[in-house]
Amino acid sequence: MMHHDVAVVGGGCVGLSVAKHLRERTDLDVAVLEKEHHLAAHQSGRNSGVLHPGFNYPPESRKAEFATEGTRRMKAYCAEHGVPCDELGVLVVAKTDAEEARLDALAAQAEANGVEYELLDSQPAIREHEPHAVGQAALYAPEAASVDAQQYVYALAREIQAAGAELYTGHAVEAIHRTGSGYRIETDKGPLEATYLVNAAGLHADELAHQLGVGEGYQIVPFRGEYYELRPGRRHLCRTMIYPTPNPDLPFLGVHYTRRTDGKVIIGPNAVLAFGREAYENTQFDLSDLFDTLTYGGFRKLLASRMMLSVALEELSKSYRKGKFTEASQRLVPDVRQEDLKRSYAGIRAQVVSDDGDLVKDPLFVTTDDSIHVLNAVSPGLTSSLPFGDHIAERLEALR
């Protein structure tokens, strides 16, 4: 039977980054097991593709550290590996006094985290950056960038293979068992053994962890994020990236505008409960996943909060009613008309909810004697993927 020192389950940006850093730091024989035949089929290829420098996160938090360092490292990585990356900067727009006060808090975080920023205090100042954006104030962060996330994942895959790691695509892990000296991993193509395990299975990470009795106080609740895109003749309405001021009580940043590296302007994502971990259309559902979510006590506690229930209903209406989505888009750019928008792709966030009903906002990973389970590679997980993978590789090295 095939044996590797380390098996990484999941070939998204996190799993591949772990493999990259393990190969750089150690002489361990590393294999990555990916269930899809093509990479970047889930979160790592279905996101906004924005590098978020750390102004959105509290100083000294892991999220702030990873995001700030990740933005810089990823720009260098993209330049070195020919991955499209446009340093456009981002405009976070405030529409009310309460939002303007929150912008000051973001500016303080930017300052503490060493992120460049500028506060714009008038509509004319906003218009100099984005002629069609409307607000009473804004924070401009020039370090934010737009990246081709799928090409980034493929660059990582090429790099780890060149460094001697095995990448098994089309290998779905069905079960994992403990053995006396590590793990026996059953895949749909046959078993293999490994001394150490890294579980970076994204939307399915909790299912694999639970098989081994790890992370049982948490469950992934899939939240779909749907995008529209501007018709080609209307793309001038957004030059760079325009975000609303985030609500600090929610882990999602709100419907925003992103100019992608291919020139398209996407608007979204909303955040609706997905009726399946891979239910990318709002007409799709997976009965077993849906049952798991609806019977999960943590999810029921989450929905018991009046604020969460009203957010959930509002987001649901944006999914089924284009007019509602258009209204959310017009809040930042009033010149956008319903006919300017056409449906684009969707992504699904692997959002971890605790048994207490909390949406876990920080990265969460659980280390055992010989394994690491990445349970919440929460946004900005793409931005943070290089330092995050480095950190996990360092932890695994310490287990030897």
Q: Which residues bind ligand FAD (CB under 6 A)?
A: 9-15, 33-36, 41-44, 46-50, 52, 172-173, 200-204, 225, 269, 347-349, 377, 379-383
CB of 42 to ligand FAD, least distance (A): 4
For residue 190, what are the β-bridge partners?
Answer: 187
How many Å apart are CA 375 and CA 199, to the nearest integer? 8
Specify the residue, 58 or 125, whose C-beta has the smaller distance to ligand FAD. Answer: 58
Strands 85-86 and 218-230: unpaired
Dihedral through CA 94, CA 100, CA 101, CA 103, nearest 10?
Answer: 60
Check if the beta carbon of residue 237 is closer than 8 Å to that of residue 340: yes
Which of 242, 34, 237, 52 lies closest to 147, judged by CA?
52
Residue 142 Cβ, how far from ligand FAD at the closest point, in Å? 17
Render the burial of 267-301: b for 16+ CB within 10 Å, e for the rest: bbbbbbbbbbbebeeeeeebeebbebbeebebbeb
Tokens representing 262 are 């291919």
Q: Closest separation between CB of residue 348 and ligand FAD, Å?
A: 6
- Least CB distance to ligand FAD at residue 152 (A): 10
Q: What's the min distance (Å) between Cβ of 176 and ligand FAD? A: 9
Nearer to ligand FAD, 188 or 394 (CB): 188
Q: Measured from the CB atom, is 137 or 255 closer to ligand FAD?
A: 255
Amino acid at 322: K
Q: Which is nearer to ligand FAD, 230 or 348 (CB)?
A: 348
User: What gap in Å lies between CA 370 and CA 115, rounded to an integer?
Assistant: 36
Tell me how far apart the alpha carbons of residues 268 and 386 are, in angstroms, rounded to a whole number. 25
Least Å distance, CB 380 to ligand FAD, is 3
Comparing CB distances to ligand FAD, the nearer of 204 and 391 is: 204
In 305-384, alpha helices (H): 306-320, 322-332
Closer of 261 and 383 to ligand FAD (Cβ) = 383
Q: Which is nearer to ligand FAD, 13 or 333 (CB)?
A: 13
Tokens of 371: 């394994």
CB of 379 to ligand FAD, least distance (A): 4
What secondary structure letter does DSSP report for 10?
A: -
Cβ(107)–Cβ(117) under 8 Å? yes
Closest-approach residue to ligand FAD (CB): 381
Burial class (CB in 10 A: 0-12, 13-18, 19+), 264: middle
Residue 266 has phi, psi (to 5 degrees) of -105, 150
In this complex, which beta carbon is closest to ligand FAD, that of residue 100 or of residue 256? Answer: 256
Q: What's the min distance (Å) between Cβ of 218 and ligand FAD?
A: 15
